[in-house]
Amino acid sequence: MEVRQISKGNWLVEVTSEDKRKIACIVNKLKTKTKLEPYGKWRNMSSEDIWEEVLGQFCVMGSARPIEKLQANTQRYNEFLKKLSVGTLTKMTLARKEYIVKQLKEYKATRFHNKSAERINKCLENEEIVKYGKIVFLENSKKQEMLDEDTMRDILLEKLPFFKMKSISDFMITIGAARGFIAFDTRVVGLLNEHFKLNVELDEIQYDEVLYKAIERKLGDVCGELGIELSLLDRMLFEFSGISAIEYILETECV
């Protein structure tokens, strides 16, 4: 892959035929082993289910491994969710932030306990996000039957100020609100840099919305040629790079 800045706010992204061959190889090997949440699932999710996904986004900042390890222990993970449920937290009036820090530390849910706790607490204080103990930031979107993904992402970026492009994109994929997005996180960008010669720093992609969308759009075109949705490739890259399966495929079966 090649990424070049043509002018301010204008990027050229090129995907080579070799890149396309490798992506096709990954898709052929993993397509049947990867699933996306049902499209539109978010419209019927409960307030607590949506809050669980919001919490998850705060917990993966820095690394997804702590929360993944916690989720592997179903009983302990459910205890964690109960203690940090939106119903529980909105009833607290004193030392809520300190309580959140304590739970994040006790359950080892994230690398950044204090920063995540501060952001979670600010979400709870924002009536655009939580009101009367319920998640409300998706309510207006639910009323719009033909809301396209790009518009919804822009709306959520405004309503959830602590989330950037990666977090919003991942959140939307997870709740079944997106099929054409990719979440450029450490694993995915690391994989693209190592095996596809992307040569772009993670922070540069995550904090430059124009660059983010340019790479996303080009990879979406490649996925379209292969007959899959970009968000399915995102899940392949994220889930299987975590257990080194992508690396194995690229180094042994796509040569």
Domains of the chain by residue range = 2-36+181-253, 41-174
| Residue 237's pLDDT band (cuts 50, 70, 90) | very high
Has residue 253 got a pLDDT over 90? no
pLDDT tens, 29-38? 999 999 999 9
Dump pLDDT digits (tens) for 192-217: 999 999 999 999 999 999 999 999 99
For 3, the enclosing helix (H) or strand (E) is strand 2-7
What is the percentage of the chain residues whose pLDDT exceeds 70? 100
pLDDT of residue 8: 83
Amino acid letter, residue 239: E
Give me 128's structure tokens: 């655009």
Model pLDDT, residue 255: 73
Residues 5-23, mean pLDDT to the nearest whole number: 92
The residue whose two tokens read 């450490």 is 186
**Torsion on CA atoms 31, 146, 215, 15, rounded to nearest 10:** 60
DSSP 88-155: HHHT--SSHHHHHHHHHHHTT--S-HHHHHHHHHHHHH-TTTEETTEE-TTHHHHT-TT--HHHHHHH
- Determine what percent of the chain is predicted with pLDDT higher than 90: 86
Q: What mean pLDDT do residues 149-170 have?
A: 94
Element (H, E) at 36: none
pLDDT in tens, 102-144: 999 999 999 999 999 999 999 999 999 999 999 999 999 988 8
Q: Is the pLDDT of residue 23 over 80?
A: yes
Which pLDDT score is estimated for 21?
A: 95
Check if the beta carbon of residue 181 is closer than 8 Å to that of residue 216.
yes
Residue in this structure with the two tokens 């190889």, named with its chain if needed: 25
pLDDT at 143: 87
State yes or no: pLDDT of 98 exceeds 80.
yes
